[in-house]
Amino acid sequence: MRIEQLETKLKQVEKELQEAEWEEGFERALKEYRGKDEVISFQSYKQLLEGKQEPIWRVKSNIPTLDDLIGGFQEGNLIIVTAPTGQGKTTFCQTLTRNFADNGVRCLWFSYEVPPREFLEKFGENLPVAYLPKALVSRTMIWIERKIVEAIAKYQTKVVFIDHLHYLLDLSKVKNASLEIGAIMRELKLMALKYNIVIFIVAHMTKTRFEDKVGLEDIRDSSFISQEADYVIVLWRDATRQSKRDLREKGVIYTNEAVASVEKNRRTGRTGSLRLILKDNLFYEVTENYGEEPIKKI
């Protein structure tokens, strides 16, 4: 072996020894590490949780079957509310806002779909205690997060409604809308976890009319939306039977009853549906106390 080759070999051996020594020291340091993100056992983590003794915060919807299926919405939850166009997405969320306020829970609204005056008029004279920005000056996630933090600091809000998802997307600048929506959904989920809040977001469907039951596959950009959500609630209204002439002259006439279906439940896996009735711009669960209701065109 030539002297040059020997020197190269010695340097290589020395380098390997240094790397081995460094790795050994690194492993030793990690073995002794006790930081807030150290890896611990399931049993140790359970003991930490028991030591905190903090009850899990939940808010009920005051809609009995929905509360039975879900068990209350928990902080950190991201919920999708979807329906065909004009069949009650915003009204359902406003119903939840009213019911949450009755339970002492304060909500923040970002209503991009409905003008503020029309939005507030739907609540009637007795407005719930809830909040919204004076002006929707931006649709960026940075601005939305800033307003969420402001509402938490000022009013201790625990629930946020965003109506609707596709307003957060600048279609003129986005090359792949589905991927961008997936990124937005992940950011919203992280916000819910970071600030210990519940976020409801309204999402559109791919079609405007349905003859049969609707589900997760009917959500616009569904694969990227539903996979990030903890719950997906789908609504649809029953259309009355109409002649072609009547349909052409009057448009589709829906009854004032709707179906709400929990299509995804990440926490327990329980799914199911319930019937709702629209009265005074709010949804109530259908019970035997409701008789025949007049057909209402909406």
User: Domains in the chain and their CATH numbers?
Assistant: 61-232 (3.40.50.300)
User: What length is written for the chain?
Assistant: 298
In tens digits, the chain (298 residues) has pLDDT values of: 566 665 666 667 666 666 666 677 767 777 888 888 888 999 999 888 887 767 789 999 999 999 999 999 999 999 999 988 878 899 999 999 999 999 999 999 999 988 999 999 999 889 999 999 999 999 999 999 999 999 999 999 999 999 988 888 876 666 777 788 888 999 999 999 999 999 999 998 765 454 555 555 555 555 667 788 999 999 988 776 666 666 665 666 777 889 999 999 999 899 999 999 999 889 999 975 444 443 333 3
CB 144 within 8 A of CB 109: no
Specify the pairing of strand 254-265 against strand 198-203.
Answer: unpaired
User: Phi and psi dihedrals of 207, rounded to 5?
Assistant: -125, 165
Extract the tokens encoding 173: 């600048």
Question: CA 247 to CA 258: how far, in whole Å?
Answer: 20
Extract the tokens encoding 258: 């709707």
Please tell me the pTM assigned to this model.
Answer: 0.80
Q: Centre a 10 Å sphere on the Cβ of residue 3 and count the other Cβ atoms it contains.
A: 7
